[in-house]
Amino acid sequence: MASEADKSSEEVQKSLTNDDEDIVNPWDVVSSSAKGVDYSKLIKRFGSTEIDKELMDRMVKLTGKPTHHFLRRGIFFSHRDMHQILDLVEKKKGFYLYTGRGPSSESMHLGHLIPFIFTKWLQDTFDVPLVIQMTDDEKFLWKDLTIEETNKLAHENAKDIIACGFDKNKTFIFSDVEYISESTEFYKMMCKIQKLVTFNQVKGIFGFTDSDSIGKISFPAIQATPSFSSAFPQIFNGKKDVPCLIPCAIDQDPYFRMTRDVAPRLGLLKPALLHSTFFPALQGAHGKMSASDPNSSIFLTDSDEQIKTKINKYAFSGGKPTEEEHRKHGGNCDIDVSYQYLTFFMEDDAKLADIKSRYTSGKMLTGELKQELTNVLQKLVGEHRERRLNVTDDIVNEYMKSRKLKFEY
């Protein structure tokens, strides 16, 4: 099945004005429902395509590897042109991956891990190069931070990313502040994109106002640039036609609708995308987490005791007010944050299904469900902390050095 034609950025922006619609953009995610964002409506509004069984079966057939549980459970739920990427795989032709991180705090939280866990699986499964953009310039423009601070945070966050296990020979992590000043080709591509997007267009896509700085207005072109292989001549040997696949949360899609709008006018390939759902805040799925609110999520630096305390104190429950009522009527997994977190991090399908059945029937209490999650997250975060301790500044510099990767073009 071919992907649907992209809706223009202006069409999508007009659809965001309805009061009954969820608000989804790169800076705000707000849902009026305790169940969170209605992703089926979002697919229709954005003009993307649902990841269906046909697409997943095709991935299994081409790679010989099982489907990632993020795909099986609809955590990555939407795509643009993924079938075209698989056409290339079928023809033994390559592509590359691009994802990113906006460094606004010293530690990343669990929600930040989602695209990197999945991107690592994609890299391992398809054996392709990966570029990771650290948008330290963006965080300087949007946050009350100096550019020196955001650049330092980029290097700190890179340690968490490297601790996910990316192969150094296949992965280039770069800071905008550092790389743009040294790469003529990146800057030239950025300028070409800037020339093709008007002020009215970025106002329509991103909601900028006349009082926003010109830095904010021009930033979307910077995030668009890594979608094109010519921005990385050291990796792709100057080739302009290596296709790009971008795994990201759906709130980043406006950047890449803009990118896909301008790609044909540049004579370049549109990037393909895989969209993930949002990782809910501990307090519930009404919005996404904030790195500035330490109680909205579990951070990758949290101790075992902090993880336990946060889950017990803040994780929104789908259980009933009393044990008697809960035993009689059962809990609601659709709104229970502890269960939702397990769908992300418990890989065992059978065990997850058993937990859902017991909680829904009332056989499992909220405290027991929270203990299951505590066990899973203490192990996951503890192992991540250990790996991160071994990532030195020198190792970060190796990943962030502009260089050729282990691929021939």
CB environment 107-122: b (16+ within 10 A), e (fewer): bbbbbbbbbbbbbbbb
Kindly report, residue by residue over 62-93, the tens digit of the pLDDT.
Answer: 999 999 999 999 999 999 999 999 999 999 99
Whether the predicted pLDDT of 11 surpasses 60? no
Size (the chain), residues: 409
Q: Which positions ≥6 away from 34 have C-beta within 8 Å?
A: 284, 285, 286, 335
- Whole-number average pLDDT of the chain: 91
Q: What percent of the chain has pLDDT over 70?
A: 89
Residues 277 and 288: beta-carbon distance below 8 Å: no
- Confidence class of residue 194 from pLDDT cuts 50, 70 and 90? very high
CA distance 151 to 168: 21
Q: What is the pLDDT of residue 287?
A: 53
Q: Which positions ≥6 away from 375 have C-beta within 8 Å?
A: none
CA distance 318 to 334: 8
- Confidence class of residue 288 from pLDDT cuts 50, 70 and 90? low
Per-residue pLDDT, averaged over 316-342, amounts to 95
| E strand intervals along 136-227 | 171-175
- Confidence class of residue 294 from pLDDT cuts 50, 70 and 90? confident
Query: Is-above-0.85 flag for pTM?
Result: yes
End-to-end, the C-alpha distance of the chain in Å comes to 30
Whether the predicted pLDDT of 7 surpasses 60? no
Quote the tokens at residue 304.
């075992």
Question: CB count, 10 Å around CB of 82?
Answer: 20
DSSP string for 217-229: HHHHHHHHGGGSG
- Confidence class of residue 149 from pLDDT cuts 50, 70 and 90? very high
DSSP tally for the chain: helices H, then strands E: 20, 11
Q: What is the pLDDT of residue 4?
A: 42
Residues 70 and 277: beta-carbon distance below 8 Å: no
CA distance 384 to 33: 33
